């Protein structure tokens, strides 16, 4: 603890969400005063609202985590609002933070979905612009990439300080388990638990199972955000990952084993796999602000399952 955050004021958009709650807790433990705006009071897609938020809170730091997100199915049925809402929220917050006299730095969260569909593995930040994202992720991924350009040109022209972080797939206690927004880990945990309870002997799973993902425990991601907000002074994007690639088949089989499901897993190759492979090179984060992921995947998955079983009503609440 350096004492840096003592007396600092931080606005965390999305601070009531899965990742945001952990970031808020860490900042408060370090002595910061944290404001968590709610969308019912501050609709950041609307012009002028971000400026009003920062005038009301006078923060020294802005951490922009608010996002509209979902799994492959959600991306397929809601691509227009995924693009527009995410683009507008980030655009308005970046510009409001640039103009607010109290703000020293803005932290922006990108997405691994921004990388080209066929990026060489491990993904390095230099590859971000080498092709078009995987189609089901493209609207969200491109909106997030636009925020990087906005922040970079603002830094060049106006001296705005920012950090732009690209996490891999997040998971952990507090994740969203409602079918409309859940990603692969919470979605599969929910279905496997239900299959055990209902005595099912067959479980349908989207895709071929050959696609891979890299999972980042929520506590590790929050630690990186706080460290970057305090110490990172560059304008280049920075990957956040645990340097371990896991196939979807391995993921689902491990979840099934942990919850005690012993029936068949039936893969449906007519459903999309999403991006073929994902694993990032996280070395820039370690070099620039001393961060490295700590949670082993199996341990984090067990903690996620245990939290879900103990908090099912909260976990499955409709967003």
Inter-residue contact 146 to 129 (CB < 8 Å)? no
Instruction: List the catalytic residues.
Output: 140
Query: Which residues make Cβ contacts (< 8 Å) with residue 130, sequence separation at least 6?
Result: 116, 119
Burial of 314 (0-12, 13-18, 19+ CB in 10 A): exposed
Mean pLDDT (the chain) is 95
Say if pTM beats, i.e. exceeds, 0.85.
yes
> How do strand 238-240 and strand 33-35 relate by DSSP bridges?
unpaired
Q: Which of 205, 224, 219, 208 is nearest to 280 (CA)?
A: 224
CATH architecture classification, 9-315: 3-Layer(aba) Sandwich (3.40)
- Residue 12 has phi, psi (to 5 degrees) of -115, 100
DSSP 274-317: -SS---B--HHHHHHH-------HHHHHHHHHHHHHH-HHHHT-
Is the pLDDT at 307 greater than 70? The verdict is yes
How many angstroms separate the CA atoms of 274 and 133, rounded? 10
> Does residue 139 contact residue 127 with C-beta atoms inside 8 Å?
no
Each residue's pLDDT tens digit, 75-101: 677 789 899 999 999 999 999 999 999
pLDDT digits (tens, 9 = 90+) for 124-168: 999 999 999 998 889 999 999 999 999 999 999 999 999 999 999
Average pLDDT for residues 69-80, to the nearest whole number?
Answer: 72
Q: Where are the domains of the chain?
A: 9-315
User: ω before 162 within 30° of 0 (cis)?
Assistant: no
């Amino acid at each position: 603890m350096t004492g840096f955050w003592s007396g600092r004021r931080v606005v965390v958009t999305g601070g009531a969400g899965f990742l945001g709650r952990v970031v808020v807790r860490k900042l408060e433990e370090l002595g910061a005063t944290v404001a968590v705006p709610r969308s019912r009071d501050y609709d950041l897609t609307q012009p002028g609202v971000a400026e009003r938020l920062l005038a009301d809170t006078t923060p020294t730091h802005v951490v922009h985590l608010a996002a509209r997100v979902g799994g492959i199915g959600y991306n397929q049925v809601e691509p227009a609002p995924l693009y527009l809402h995410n683009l507008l929220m980030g655009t308005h917050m970046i510009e409001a933070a640039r103009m607010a006299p109290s703000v020293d730095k803005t932290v922006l969260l990108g997405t691994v979905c921004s990388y080209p569909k066929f990026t060489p593995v491990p993904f390095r930040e230099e590859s971000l612009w080498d092709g078009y994202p995987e189609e089901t992720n493209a609207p969200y991924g491109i909106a997030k990439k636009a925020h990087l350009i906005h922040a970079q040109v603002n830094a060049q022209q106006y001296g705005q300080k920012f950090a732009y972080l690209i996490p891999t797939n997040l998971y952990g206690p507090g994740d969203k388990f409602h079918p409309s927004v859940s990603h692969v880990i919470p979605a599969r945990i929910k279905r496997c638990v239900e299959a055990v309870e209902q005595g099912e002997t067959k479980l349908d799973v989207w895709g071929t199972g050959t696609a891979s993902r890299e999972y980042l425990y929520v506590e590790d991601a929050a630690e990186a955000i706080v460290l970057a907000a305090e110490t990172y002074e560059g304008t280049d994007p920075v990957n956040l990952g645990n340097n371990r690639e896991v196939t979807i088949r391995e993921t689902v089989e491990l979840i099934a084993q942990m919850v005690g499901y012993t029936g068949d897993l039936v893969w449906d190759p007519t459903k999309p796999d999403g991006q073929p492979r994902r694993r990032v090179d996280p070395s820039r984060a370690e070099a620039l602000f001393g961060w490295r992921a700590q949670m082993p995947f199996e341990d984090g998955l067990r903690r996620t399952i245990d939290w879900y079983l103990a908090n099912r009503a909260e976990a499955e609440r409709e967003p």
